Structure 1
Amino acid sequence: MIGNLDLYRIFNVVSKNSSFSQAAQELYMTQSAVSQAIMRLEKELDQQLFYRTSKGAVLTNEGKMLYEHIHSAIGMIQVGEEKLSALKTLETGHLRIGVGDTISRYYLLPYLEEFHEKYPGVKLTILNGTTTEIVRYLRSGQVDVGICNLPIEDEQIHVTQTLKVHDTFIAGEAFRDLSERTLSIEELLTQPLIFLENKSNARRYVENYFTQKGYQLAPDFELGSSDLVLDFARINLGVACVIREFSQYHLDKKVVFEIRLEEPIPSRAIGICYLKNVSLSPAVKIFVESIEAEKNVKG
Structure 2
Amino acid sequence: MKNPEILLHYIDVLLKESNFTKAAHELYISQPYLTQLIKRLEHKLGTPIINRQSIPFTLTKAGIIYYKYLETTIANKQTLFQQLTPYVHPDQEIIRIGILDSLGTFLLPELLPGFLKTNSNIKIQLFETSPRISEAQLLHEQIDCYIGQTPESLNQGLDFYVNGGENYFVIIPPNSPLFKKGRFILKPNEYNIQDILNQPFVVSSSNSAIRHQVDGIFQKFHIEPNIILESNNIITTTNLAIKGTGLTISAASIIKRMAQTPINLLPLNPNLIQIKYFIAIKHGIKIKNGVKKLITKFQELKIQPNIK
Letter in 2 for 1:139: L
Equivalent residue number for residue 75 of structure 1: none
Q: CA deviation at 1:254?
A: 4.7
Do the aligned partners of residues 172 and 133 (structure 1) sit closer, same or farther apart at CA in structure 2, a change above 3 Å counting?
same
Q: Is the 8 A contact 2:102 2:234 kept in 1?
A: yes
Amino acid at match of 2:223: Y
CA contact (8 A) 1:166 1:245 kept: no
Aligned partner of residue 289 in structure 1, secondary structure = helix
Is 1:283 aligned to residue 290 of structure 2?
yes
Give secondary structure in 1 for the equivalent of 2:281. Answer: strand
Q: Does the 8 Å CA contact 2:202/2:237 hold for their aligned counterparts?
A: yes
- Unaligned 5+ runs, structure 1: 1-82
Report the equivalent of 2:237: 229
Distance 2:269 2:285 in 1: 45
In 1, distance between residues paired with 2:210 and 2:269? 20
Say whether the 8 Å CA contact 1:183–1:261 is kept in structure 2.
no
Q: 1:171 to 1:120 in 2, by over 3 A?
A: farther
Answer yes or no: is 1:177 the counterpart of 2:180: yes
- Matched residue, 1:167: 168
Stretches of 4+ moved more than 6 A in 1?
Answer: none
1:242-261 alignment runs, 5 A limit: 242-250=250-258, 253-254=260-261, 256-260=263-267
How far apart are residue 153 of structure 1 and its match? Answer: 4.1
Aligned partners of 1:184 and 1:262 also within 8 Å: no
Residues 106-145 of structure 1: matches in 2 within 5 Å?
106-145=106-145
The yes-or-no answer on 1:187 pairing with 2:187 is no
- Residue 52 of structure 2 aligns with which residue? none
Q: Please list the CA deviations of residues 186-239 of structure 1 after superposition, one character each: whole Å capped at 9, or x if unmatched.
A: 322342211101111211112112212222223111111011112112222121
Shift of 1:255: 5.5
Pair 204,119 (structure 1): closer, same or farther in 2 beyond 3 Å: same
- Tell me the residue number matched to 1:14: none
The whole-number CA distance in structure 2 between the counterparts of 1:240 and 1:206 is 9
TM-score, length of structure 1 as denominator length: 0.62
Q: Is the 8 A contact 1:116 1:122 kept in 2?
A: yes
Is structure 2 residue 207 aligned with structure 1 residue 206?
Answer: no
Aligned-partner SS, 1:222: strand
For these two proteins, the number of residue pairs brought into alignment is 211
Length-normalised TM-score, structure 2: 0.60
Aligned match of 1:218: 226
Structure 2: give runs of 5+ residues left out of the alignment: 1-85
SS of the counterpart of 2:210?
Answer: helix
- 1:102 is matched by which residue type in structure 2? S
Q: How many Å separate the matches in 2 of 1:262 and 1:278? A: 37
Report the structure number with the largest CA radius of gyration: 1
- What is the CA distance between 1:262 and its match in structure 2? 8.1
Checking the alignment, whether the CA contact within 8 Å between 1:206 and 1:265 is kept in structure 2 is: no
Q: Please identify which structure carries the higher helix content.
A: 1
Q: Secondary structure at the match of 1:186?
A: helix
Identity of aligned residues (%): 14
Q: Deviations over 1:269-291 (max 9, x none)?
A: 12110012111222211111100
User: SS where residue 266 of structure 2 aligns?
Assistant: strand
Kept after mapping to 2: 8 A contact 1:162/1:297: no
SS in 2 for 1:174: coil
- Residue 154 in 1 paired to residue 155 in 2? yes
CA distance 1:238–1:297, change in 2 (3 Å): closer
| SS of 2:96 mapped into structure 1 | strand
Structure 2 distance, partners of 1:101, 1:113, is 17
Q: Pick which of 185-194 and 289-298 moved more.
A: 289-298
